[in-house]
Amino acid sequence: MNDRWLSMKEICIYLGVSHDTVSRWIAKGMPAVKMGKCWKFKQLLVDEWIIANVAKHKQASKG
């Protein structure tokens, strides 16, 4: 398994979203580490966070 850190640009491309969207998600708790001026991400942790938050969003919209 590839366990390297992804850059902001790489995670945006991987997820198909903008830099602004990722920044909002970081503020909402998406797992990320700030190394100097750069944000870094582990793909597996981001995938798990997205799955968990999609489930929360679906439950909230049913309620």
Q: Are strands 33-35 and 6-7 parallel, antiparallel or unpaired?
A: unpaired
Q: Which of these, 61, 63, 62, 43, lies nearest to 51 by C-alpha position?
A: 43
pLDDT, tens digit, 9 for 90 and up, residues 13-51: 999 999 999 999 999 999 999 999 999 999 999 999 999
How many angstroms from the chain centroid is the CA of residue 12? Answer: 9
- Cα–Cα dist 53/34, whole Å: 22
Task: Give residue 56's pLDDT band: very low, low, confident or very high (50, 70, 90).
Answer: confident
How many angstroms from the chain centroid is the CA of residue 28? Answer: 10
Single pTM value for the model: 0.81
> Where are the domains positioned within the chain?
6-62
